[in-house]
A and B are shown apart, each in its own frame.
Chain A
Amino acid sequence: MTKIKLLIHAEDGSFPHLSEYLLRKYFNPKDETIKDHFILGIAVKDTCIQPIYTAKESKKKRKRQESDGEEKKVAPKPTGYTFDTATLHEQTRLMEGYNTFAVPSFDLVDDAKVQMEKDASNRLKNPQKNSTKEGQKSIASVTSTKNHLSLITPNGLQQITPELYTQVGNKLKCDHLLALFDQANLEEGKKRKAAACERSKAWLGLCQKSHQSTTECKSKLWAAFSCHDSKWTLNDSIQYITEYKQSLEGIAIVGLHHVQSRAERKDLVKKISSSFNPKPALAMLAVPDLSQLFDAVECGTEIISTSLPVTWARSNKLFNVLKVKSEEVGSDGCIDLSDEKYARDTSPLLEGCQCMSCRDSRYNKAYVHHLIKANELLAQILLFGHNLFQLLTLFKEELSSDDLDLSKVRELYE
């Protein structure tokens, strides 16, 4: 039986919408199904970022601390940020007992898009502030060089070298580690894509070398396969990954969702998996919807990363995996609880669901509808807890089942 695993981005180790109390209570790794089907994804871009102070300022800071609050001085502003492994364990929360997967980011192109949207809305908000410089810089791959990747972090664009990345990766001691990779925007030309491919190749080499030389590290190394197109970089990528086959746990496919046509996506994955012998373990990052998630299962992917539970929660959606197909449930498998029709609906969120929000008929639709209308964070907490639970149920009960009939599962949603 294949155990299909759900990889969920856990920021720097914690979920934004799930306190540790709730995580441990309702998604406890001592529960075998959780252990087998749930992986916490740690993105290096979220972690190890340390503020830098100029020498002068940190002296001032020390002085202020010594004076013991006698005079109130404003704490200095950091002059910048840097990746730093020294304080890693204070900044990153590695939950014991869970399977973990460290990656640089789940998708560099998506990161850049999000950043550009943010910059655009900031420009709209304060047009005086000249943020064009940031805006131009924000396409990560543009400024990456052979020696470093420009990673979009919560503290702005930061450069990370493959050596430092591997250091961080080793220190994180995750079960799995994805080698540093570069990724080009699909719209870009041959030259850019080839350059990204070259970098990924070089960085994989460096990661592999450093990974092998560390004694303490037991992470399993994965190579990233950046999907650009089926023409220019495909064969090159297959070739260099093949070179490292021996030391790799598997291949993580990155950016497949940027390829527009489903046929092309399928074709691409088929080519990748058939080019290696034996067939490698496959992980798929940033899967955007259920349809592509089923496609990933169909082509033999074992680890699937998606942000669906939180995306749904943010758009007030309740995922319903039960085999009951009903009028209410949309093609995404969700019902939208912000709909006015739930205002007086006293039925449980999902009959029979054992999640933290549903069990013992805890909360009803009317209450969560109210929380949504009142713009309360608790709505997202309850929805995220439920959606994650339901998606995990789909993974363990449907997708990992021996007699899985994907067309039947699909039918429920499409």
Chain B
Amino acid sequence: METKVTWESRKRNREDGADDNLDDTKRAATDTNEEKAKVKSSTDVPTASQFIVPADQFLSLPPELQDVDFTKRVSWRKFAPYTKEVLPLTPEGQEPEFKEDSPALCFHVHATSGRARATTLHLPSSRKVQTPIFMPVGTKGTIKALTTEEICNDPALNCPIILGNTYHLALQPGTELVRDMGGLHKFMRWDRGILTDSGGFQMVSLLKLAEITEDGVEFENPFLKDSKERMMLRPEDSITHQNNIGSDIMMALDDVVSSVTDNDERFEIATYRTLRWLDRCYAAHTRPKEQNLFAIVQGGLDTKVGGLREKCLAGFRARDKMIPGYAIGGLAGGESKEDFWKVVNQCCKSLPDDKPRYLMGVGYPLDLVVCSALGVDMYDCVYPTRTARFGVALVPGEAPGTLRLKSNEFSEDTRVIMEGCECAACKGGYSRARLHTLLKRNNPLAATLMTNHNIAYMMYLVRGMRKAIMEDRYASYVKDFINDQFRGSANGGQDVPEWVRDALNEAGIKV
């Protein structure tokens, strides 16, 4: 290979071709048949062919990693408690300053408590996100059953950022339409943060016939059931869609392999490909001043020294200058909790302390509490909102921390879901019995109230976590939470799971 893949060469590529590409995209969008173009997007954004490798090189170490010493753990820009050096902190309320190498994100760390951090992500248009944060999922341009007004104005919710699904928006109403409406913020009347996924995960998990090639994710057009027309979502397409949507944070298209797949070779191919696709994503990104593009750490469950997670991390270290934030991917797919926390732990230990870390698809309250102790800042999950619509309320206390309100045991329970909760259901005095009745009758109001409570609970949780970190008492916060959920078999409750104990021990918290 003549061209050594460096950040500089990629940057050149962006400067040379990107603007022309944008115009082509626009032109293409206006004169192609819209229905057909929806998922496919404009094929006119060319594949950045310099990042394509032939099949016989799929398993060879990418050139930028050839000089890396893989006998040592990969990590960069680490501060206390990982190293002796102290991370310079920024006081809360400090105005953001957008730098040239991160023009759409200014990241302030205000406090640390052990490995846990309280930070603010300043995004363009004065949007800001205080972490740790849970991002509710608004798949199709709406948080189901709630108006944006309620999510913003209700102090119990007041969510600073939500997640939109690129795949779903590409299908309906189509991202070109969203772009022409002024972007998703304007379209859905949401002037706060939006994060979009790449669409790849949905393709692989929702469409059985999806196949991943070097070019992208190939799938059958879900609109044309009879025809066998194959369509393609390339990294370039994913970014075009996300540029159209205009999210504040976009996710790179990665080569997703189910975490429970038993094929080491497939994982290795996917890890290296994820690096090449990241380069293609950055090359296709046309709005770097308004939108951030986060990289996603892949590498299966291989956390050993010199393993695949480290290969991926080393690849990102080589590209660190262009990456404003990092996500931990490939989890929440049915792997054991033991494997899960070890990957999270390793990524947090490797990734630089001056950039945000987002753990994808994780949203159980217990996971949030544990993973924040390991150093994660951001979370998203459909669980709290989806489970709400099925009648499951999240509550503190004894594990599993849920109430299945459809169950008959609540038909005469006159208590509210959670004493002291400020949500519309609890503060409004809706008893469990009443919610039980509303749910049994499929009254849409039940979905509204339950969603309201579960999001309020998640926000209550992350606000409590943040406060504890700011006051440097996160360890005791965690202990209280854990002791509350797991009272121990001696006291008629459950014992603290082994993985929780181990993960927290690693974070320096003894329970």
**Chain A residues within CB distance 8 Å of chain B:** 11-12, 14-22, 50-51, 61, 64-65, 68-70, 75-78, 87, 90-91, 93, 154, 343-344, 346, 356, 362-364, 366-367, 369-371, 373-374, 376-378, 380-382
Asked whether B238 is an interface residue with its Cβ less than 8 Å from the other chain, the reply is no
Q: Contacts A11-B443, A154-B441, A366-B187: A378 and B433 contacting too (C-beta < 8 A)?
A: no
Query: How many A-B pairs with Cβ below 8 Å?
Result: 114
Nearest A residue to B398, CB-CB: A69
A364 contacts which chain B residues (CB < 8 A)?
A: 181
Residue of A nearest to B413 (CB): A90
Most chain-A CB neighbours within 10 Å: which of B409, B414, B431? B409
B444 touches A17 (CB 8 A): yes
> B433 is contacted by which of A76, A91, A154, A367 (Cβ under 8 Å)?
A91
Q: For residue B140, which residue of chain A has the nearest CB?
A: A374
Q: Are B173 and A377 in contact (CB under 8 A)?
A: no
Task: Tell which of B147, B407, B414 touches A382, judged by Cβ atoms closer than 8 Å.
Answer: B147
**B452 at interface, CB cutoff 8 A:** yes
Contacts of B150 in A (CB 8 A): 19, 21-22
B187 CB contacts on chain A under 8 angstroms: 366-367, 370
A40 to B: closest C-beta gap in Å: 14
With A93-B434, A366-B187 as known contacts, state yes or no: A376 contacts B142, CB within 8 Å: yes
If A376-B142, A378-B144, A381-B145 touch, does A51 touch B411 (CB 8 Å cutoff)? Answer: yes
| Complexed CA–CA distance, A70 and B444 (Å) | 34
The distance from the CB of A131 to the nearest CB of chain B, in whole angstroms, is: 18
A152 to B189, CA, bound (A): 41
User: In the complex, which of the residues B428, B448, B449 has the most CB atoms of chain A within 10 Å of its own CB atom?
Assistant: B448
Q: Which residues of A contact B149 (CB under 8 A)?
A: 22, 356
- In the complex, A17 Cα to B449 Cα: how many Å? 11
Q: How far is the CA of A364 from the CA of B476 in the complex (A)?
A: 49
**Cβ of B407 and Cβ of A21 under 8 Å apart?**
no
| Chain A residue nearest in CB terms to B389 | A377
- State which residues 469-504 of B face A: CB under 8 Å: 492
A90 near B414 with CB under 8 A, answer yes
Report Cα–Cα, A18/B150, bound state, in Å.
Answer: 11
Out of A76, A154, A378, which one reaches B142, CB within 8 Å?
Answer: A378
Is the C-beta of B468 less than 8 angstroms from some C-beta in chain A? no
Contacts of B188 on A, CB cut-off 8 Å? 367
Task: Evaluate contact between A371 and B142: CB separation under 8 angstroms.
Answer: yes
Q: How many residues of B contact A (CB 8 A)?
A: 43
- A382: chain B residues at CB < 8 Å are 147
Apart from A21-B154, A22-B149, list 17 A-B contacts with CB within 8 A. Answer: A15-B445, A16-B443, A21-B424, A22-B147, A69-B398, A75-B407, A75-B408, A78-B411, A87-B433, A91-B434, A93-B430, A366-B173, A366-B181, A367-B181, A374-B142, A374-B168, A376-B144
B246: A residues at CB distance < 8 A: none
Asked if B16 is at the interface (CB within 8 A of a chain A CB), the reply is no
B363 within 8 A of A: no
Contact with A along B108-149 (1 / 0, CB 8 A): 000000000000000000000000000000001110111101
A377-B144 in contact (CB<8A): yes
A65: chain B residues at CB < 8 Å are: 409
Question: Which residues of chain A come closer than 8 Å to B141, judged between CB atoms?
Answer: 367, 370-371, 374
Q: Which residues of A contact B144 (CB under 8 A)?
A: 376-378
Complex-state Cα separation, A14 to B452, whole angstroms: 16
Is B412 on the interface with A (CB-CB < 8 A)? yes
The residue on A at minimum CB distance from B173 is A370
Q: B447 contacts the other chain (Cβ, under 8 Å)?
A: yes
Query: What's the least CB distance linking B485 to chain A, in Å?
Result: 13
The 3 A-B pairs with the shortest beta carbon distances in the complex, nearest first, are A75-B409, A75-B408, A374-B140
B142 cross-chain contacts in A, Cβ below 8 A: 371, 374, 376, 378
- Are the CB atoms of A346 and B424 closer together than 8 Å? no
8 A-B pairs within 8 Å (CB atoms) are namely A78-B408, A90-B433, A367-B189, A374-B168, A374-B173, A377-B447, A378-B145, A381-B448
- Which residues of the partner chain A approach B424 to less than 8 Å between Cβ atoms? 19-21
With a cutoff of 8 Å between Cβ atoms, the chain B residues found around residue A51 in the complex are 408, 411-412
The answer on a CB contact under 8 Å between B447 and A343 is: no
The reply to whether A90 and B492 form a contact with Cβ atoms under 8 Å apart is no
Chain A residues near B434 (CB-CB < 8 A): 90-91, 93
Q: Is the CB of A373 within 8 A of B445?
A: no
Residue of A nearest to B448 (CB): A19
Q: Say whether B409 contacts A61, CB under 8 Å.
A: yes
- Cβ–Cβ contact B172 & A373, under 8 A: yes
B177 within 8 A of A: yes
Counting CB contacts under 8 A, is B402 at the interface? no
Residues of B within 8 A of A64 (CB): 409
Query: Would you call B180 an interface residue if the criterion is a C-beta within 8 Å of the partner chain's C-beta atoms?
Result: yes
Residue of A nearest to B410 (CB): A75
B437 touches A14 (CB 8 A): no
- B146→A378 contact, CB < 8 A: yes
Cα A69 to Cα B487 with chains together (Å): 13
A374 CA to B433 CA, complexed, in Å? 31
The answer to whether A377 and B444 touch across the interface, beta carbons within 8 angstroms, is yes
Q: Are A90 and B431 in contact (CB under 8 A)?
A: yes
Which residues on the B side are within 8 Å of A371 (C-beta)? 140-142
* Interface membership of chain B positions 57-68, coded 1 if the CB is closer than 8 angstroms to chain A and 0 otherwise: 000000000000
Separation of A346 and B181 alpha carbons in the complex (Å): 7
Q: Please indicate the chain B residues that have their CB under 8 angstroms from the CB of A343 in the complex.
A: 173, 177
Complex CA distance for A21 and B448, rounded to whole angstroms:
11
A370 to B186: give the CA distance in the assembly, Å. 14
In the complex, the chain B residue whose C-beta lies closest to that of A70 is: B492
Scan B165-196; emit 1 where CB is below 8 A from any A CB, else 0.
00010001100010011000001110000000
How close is B327's CB to chain A, nearest CB, in angstroms? 26
Distance in angstroms between the alpha carbons of A343 and B178 in the assembled complex: 11
- Give the residue of A14, A19, A77, A366 whose beta carbon is less than 8 angstroms from that of B408: A77
Whether B445 and A17, one on each chain, are in contact in the complex, defined by CB atoms closer than 8 angstroms, is yes
Given the known interface contacts A15-B445, A17-B444, A377-B145, the answer about A344 and B177 at a Cβ–Cβ threshold of 8 Å is yes
Known: A16-B445, A17-B445. A376 touches B140 (CB 8 A): yes
Beyond A343-B177, A373-B172, whether A19 also contacts B412 by CB under 8 A is no
Known: A91-B433, A370-B173, A381-B147. A68 touches B408 (CB 8 A): no
Contact in complex: A344, B180 (CB < 8 Å): yes
Interface residues of B in 198-231 (CB under 8 A from A): none
Are B445 and A366 in touch, CB under 8 angstroms? no
Interface string of B427-471 (1 = CB under 8 A from A): 010110110010011011101110010000000000000000000
Which of B168, B173, B452, B492 counts the most chain A CB atoms within 10 A? Answer: B173
Complex CA–CA separation, A16 to B444 (angstroms) = 5
- Min CB–CB distance B489 → chain A (angstroms): 10
Inter-chain CA distance A19–B153, complex, in Å, is 14
Task: Check B444–A363 contact: CB distance below 8 A.
Answer: no
> Which A residues touch B140, using CB under 8 A?
370-371, 374, 376
Smallest CB–CB gap between B242 and chain A, Å? 18
- The interface residues of chain B lying within 8 Å CB-to-CB of A374 are 140-142, 168, 172-173
Chain B minimum-CB-distance residue to A67? B492
A21 to B188, CA, bound (A): 20
Contact of A380 among B414, B430, B444 (CB under 8 A): B444
Cα–Cα distance between A82 and B295 once the two chains are bound (Å):
59
Q: Is the CB of A20 within 8 A of B428?
A: yes
| 1/0 contact string of B74-116 vs chain A (CB within 8 Å) | 0000000000000000000000000000000000000000000
Name the residue of chain A whose CB is nearest to the CB of B452: A19
Q: What A residues does B443 contact at CB under 8 A?
A: 11, 16
| Whole-angstrom CA separation of A380 from B177 in the bound complex | 22
